[in-house]
Amino acid sequence: MIAEIINVVLLGLLVITAVAAIRLHDLFAVVMVFGIYSFLAATVFVVLDAVDVAFTEAAVGAGISTILMLATISLVGRWERRPAHRPFLPILVVVVTGGALVYGTLDMPNFGEQSTPVHEHIAPYYLEQSKSDIGIPNVVTSVLASYRGYDTLGELTVIFTAGIGVLGILGIRRRREEKNSEG
């Protein structure tokens, strides 16, 4: 019962912050609301017992992204320009897409059910063998780093590529002192 109340409150706050982010025209405030949204999402992940995901969401979603968006705002200006057109078509698209997604969830198995395909495929093997194969308590780490090492290597390559891409597009100029001494 208490779990349901917590879930309803958290999801309700998520909806409120999402609507607030759309309604606000001060982009600085929007970034702050996004930070709150990320923290709420992290809390939802904690409730779902996905602590590692919650950790990532809090660090990346609420931390780094907020700073990067603030840095972007300092370049592009704080106030959103009023849109010239009316938002009826986008609203229609969003409502239809959202309706389709909700309709899709009706086919999904109940939350936490044992007989879902996810729980019958390879997850039981990881949960049972992790202790004897790898011997560390955190199964998430053993799956990420060992069983699924290729995937993690691929993810790291994506981050590497993102860094190289930012360096290539934006570039970093040398420090001003160096520039002065050179020229």
Q: What residue ranges bind other proteins (CB under 8 A)? A: 51-52, 54-56, 59-60, 63-64, 67-68, 71-72, 74-75, 133-138, 140-142, 144-146, 149-150, 152-153, 155-157, 159-160, 162-164, 166-167, 170-177
Contact call for residues 179 and 173 (beta carbons, < 8 A)? yes
How far apart, in whole angstroms, are the C-alpha atoms of residue 41 and residue 59? 12
Question: Least distance from C-beta 162 to other proteins, angstroms?
Answer: 6
Question: Least distance from C-beta 170 to other proteins, angstroms?
Answer: 4
Between 18 and 144, name the residue whose CB sits nearer to other proteins: 144
Between 97 and 157, name the residue whose CB sits nearer to other proteins: 157
Question: Least distance from C-beta 123 to other proteins, angstroms?
Answer: 18
Partners of 79 in the beta sheet? 26
Helices 65-76 + 27-47 axis angle, to 10: 170
How far apart, in whole angstroms, are the C-alpha atoms of residue 30 and residue 78? 10
Question: Least distance from C-beta 45 to other proteins, angstroms?
Answer: 10
Between 11 and 162, name the residue whose CB sits nearer to other proteins: 162
- Residue 163 has a CB neighbour count (10 Å cut-off) of 10
Contact call for residues 10 and 47 (beta carbons, < 8 A)? yes
Between 16 and 27, name the residue whose CB sits nearer to other proteins: 27
Helices 27-47 + 2-23 axis angle, to 10: 160
Question: Least distance from C-beta 76 to other proteins, angstroms?
Answer: 10
Between 95 and 167, name the residue whose CB sits nearer to other proteins: 167
| Residue 35 burial class via C-beta count within 10 angstroms: exposed 0-12, middle 13-18, buried 19 and up | buried
